[in-house]
Amino acid sequence: MGAAIVVTFFVLFSVLLSLGGSDQKTKTNSSAAGLQASSETKQQTAAALAAQRAARAKAKARAAKIRKAKARARKARAARRRAAAAKAAAAKAAAAKAAAAKAAAAKAAAAKAAAAKAAQASACDKNYSGCLDPNASDYDCAGGSGNGPEYTGPVKVLGYDEYGLDSDGDGYGCEDS
């Protein structure tokens, strides 16, 4: 009986060893599979991170491009505003110059008219309306019996009747001619 126990024990031990060994093989195989799966996961994670970095870099480049385009647009708008302001300033300056030239021309014309009026006033006898030459030696009524040398039509006597044109003394000379 003792030998049968030993044999049974040996068989059980062999079975256990084979079970334990296969367990060990299974554990080894599962560890290798786990390492391989872990390696694949790391590769996938690295690829995903690389894709994220690439996407961020692309988005950053796109944002930089947009910022540059906006800056160019702002500069272009500012240049257009400066050009419009310069054009408006030039138009305003031209209008001011034209107004000044017009005012100067009007002033010159007024001065010329005043000078002509002054020259005419000094060239006219202030005692009569109209313009009788104050340097004439005598005036007579046109169509009358006087011998001149100068003749005039109806005039209003404003002061002293030096030429005797107002014969009736009513302030009007040569009224019958």
Query: pTM score > 0.85 for this model?
Result: no
- The pLDDT profile of the chain, 177 residues, written as one tens digit per residue, is 566 665 566 666 666 666 655 444 555 555 555 566 677 888 888 888 999 999 999 999 999 999 999 999 999 999 999 999 999 999 999 999 999 999 999 999 998 888 877 766 667 888 998 888 888 889 999 887 888 899 999 999 998 999 989 888 899 999 875
* Distance of alpha carbon 10 from alpha carbon 2, whole angstroms: 12
pLDDT of residue 82: 96
pLDDT of residue 4: 62
Distances (CA, A) of 54 to 42, 44, 46, 51, 61: 18, 15, 12, 5, 10
pLDDT of residue 114: 83
Structure-block tokens of residue 103: 């005012």
| Three-state secondary structure string covering 34-50 | HHHHHHHHHHHHHHHHH
Listed in order, strand segments (DSSP E) in the chain are 139-141, 150-152, 155-156, 172-173
pLDDT of residue 143: 85
Q: What values do phi and psi take at 103, rounded to 5?
A: -65, -40
pLDDT of residue 69: 95
Could you tell me the sign of the dihedral formed by the alpha carbons of 54, 60, 62, 64, in that order?
A: negative
Structure-block tokens of residue 155: 């005039």
Quote the radius of gyration of the chain (alpha carbons, Å): 64
